[in-house]
Amino acid sequence: MKKYLITCLIFPALLYSQIRLPLEKQTPPEGTSHQEMIEYLENIVGQSDNFELEFAGYSAQERTIPVVYFPQRKHWKKHATTVMIFAQQHGNEPSGKESLLMLINELYLNPVRYDFSNLNLILVPMVNPDGNETHRRRNGNDYDLNRNHVILSEPETQLLHQIFNQHRPEVTLDVHEYGFSSWLHHGYIKDFGEQIDCISNPAIPAVLKEFSLNEILSPTIQQTRERGFRANRYVITRSELDALIRHSTTDINDGRNGFGIKLTLSFILEGLSPLSKTEKIWQRAKHQLTLIETFLNICQQKSDQINQLVRNVRDAVAKQPPDSVAIHADYTNHEKFALKVTLKRAIDFKDTTLVLPDYRPNPQPLKTIKRPDGYLIENPDERILLLIKHHLFDHYFLDQAGEFYCEWFTITGSDTLKYEGRDTIIPAGFWTASARNFISGSLVIPTDNMQAAQIVQIFEPESFYGLSHYQEFSDFVAGENFPIYRIFLNQTSRE
């Protein structure tokens, strides 16, 4: 009887210990392959009722993309905050994937250690399995997925937005890595530790940006430091120490503002990346895991505040969309400060303090337009139809020819926007306004809804965030007129 009792007590521990992280099985650890990840997740779900595994879609090269839900969705609480964390949009940035697998492992082995009772978790460890297998940044179609959240041409980003649209998370976190070498020629290793940033697009309501920064990002950094890890707000640097220092892009084509513009508290985590994929992969993942755990703990503690804020903002914008929308923004010298940072010296790896003179923390809106009542496209092709489908934009088709008071943009040349250290080509020209007849079957996209700002930024021809500068829509700027019309239902131009 005693022998049987001992066996019963020991057997569960042995059973749990049989499932090991793929990294734990490697000597030295080199990184988890797509197949190793699938087998690991299937084993976890087979042993634990706390998780739900969904193969939600496929990559460009037909590899499955798994999504893990914790707890199972049938056990989700209506009052809980839904948090979606996704990693490895860039295939050559693997530590985020490993950190999420570590998080799943911790939740499996030590579920009582974590109090995430106020959270519903959606975890996507490997968004880009094609890039993971070849250690390439881009997906199997040679597309940078973190520049695809506007046109959504790729199956991987379509999948992320499908998950988002299905569950409408209040919080998202996109996990990446950054390089250390840009200041080596000055004798410094750019080691800011784990870096996190929040939403920055000028059309996102200020209350969401302020809460993201002050109530989630700042305490996440502080508490991560208190746990003994280097952490900072994410900054974009150039090769020279006196060059502009800024935070993340204001563009909505990435996985942060791409969901933030949908009125969500969205963040990006950037972990330090070495020269090779395998170097210190375990340590890199553990460091990212530390910040992710801290981030989730803060979301857990502030769940009620998060839910109320996001719900109130979404309800308010749905009832009263903004009258005007910023379509240009940049980090200008309107606000310029010195920034004190701690770096490592390349010669001896010791910490040293530098003062960087050109830190611009807040992007400024540079061009704002009055919101039209909608946009109209005659003879919309499959690209537009898929875009509005994946973004779930409200729309309808004219069942007969009809007249609208409208404005259309005549193209006379091109302009170059030199924002954020890159050149963005947009059409130059002028607007004309009058009543005009449109054919049956024309597509109308109203802006009297919660997605108004995103719709305006995407469909305006002169927008820094719009379709006009994407190669996939180059034909839109090749003709005499831009083929997307502003329409006004009160028959009065608001330009």
Give the pLDDT mean for 422-432. Answer: 97
pLDDT at 356 over 60: yes
Angle, helix 281-301 to helix 303-319, in steps of 10 degrees: 70
What's the chain's average pLDDT? 94
Neighbours of 306 (CB within 10 A): 25
Give the model's pLDDT for residue 18: 73
Give the model's pLDDT for residue 1: 43
Give the pLDDT mean for 276-288. Answer: 92
pLDDT at 495 over 60: no
pLDDT at 12 over 80: no
pLDDT in tens, 152-163: 999 999 999 999
pLDDT in tens, 308-340: 999 999 999 999 999 999 999 999 998 999 999
CA distance 106 to 14: 16
Cis link prior to 94 (omega < 30° from 0)?
Answer: no
Give the pLDDT mean for 116-125. Answer: 98
Give the model's pLDDT for residue 490: 81
pLDDT at 295 over 90: yes
Give the model's pLDDT for residue 129: 98
pTM: 0.94
Closest CA to 453 of 310, 314, 265, 331: 314
Give the model's pLDDT for residue 176: 98
CB 175 within 8 A of CB 293: no
Give the pLDDT mean for 81-98. Answer: 98
Give the model's pLDDT for residue 3: 41
Q: For the chain, how are helix, strand and coil distributed in percent, rounded to 5?
A: 35, 30, 35
Which letter does DSSP use for residue 212 in this model? I
**pLDDT tier at 113, thresholds 50, 70, 90:** confident
pLDDT in tens, 194-250: 999 999 999 999 999 999 999 999 999 999 999 999 999 999 999 999 999 999 999
Give the model's pLDDT for residue 138: 98
CA distance 284 to 94: 9
pLDDT at 297 over 50: yes
Give the model's pLDDT for residue 10: 41
pLDDT at 493 over 90: no
Give the model's pLDDT for residue 15: 47
User: 104-108, 277-281, 331-335: lowest mean pLDDT where?
Assistant: 277-281
Query: CA 17: distance to chain centroid?
Result: 35
pLDDT in tens, 254-274: 999 999 999 999 999 999 998
Give the model's pLDDT for residue 331: 97
Give the model's pLDDT for residue 278: 84
Give the model's pLDDT for residue 216: 98
pLDDT in tens, 28-85: 999 999 999 999 999 999 999 999 999 999 999 999 999 999 999 999 999 999 999 9
CB 199 within 8 A of CB 260: yes
Sequence-separated (6 or more) residues with CB below 8 Å from residue 474: none
Query: CA 152: distance to chain centroid?
Result: 13
Give the model's pLDDT for residue 218: 98
Q: Which two tokens stand for residue 490?
A: 């009160």
Strands of the 188-189 sheet, one edge to the other = 188-189, 337-345, 351-359
CA distance 495 to 483: 18
Give the model's pLDDT for residue 5: 38
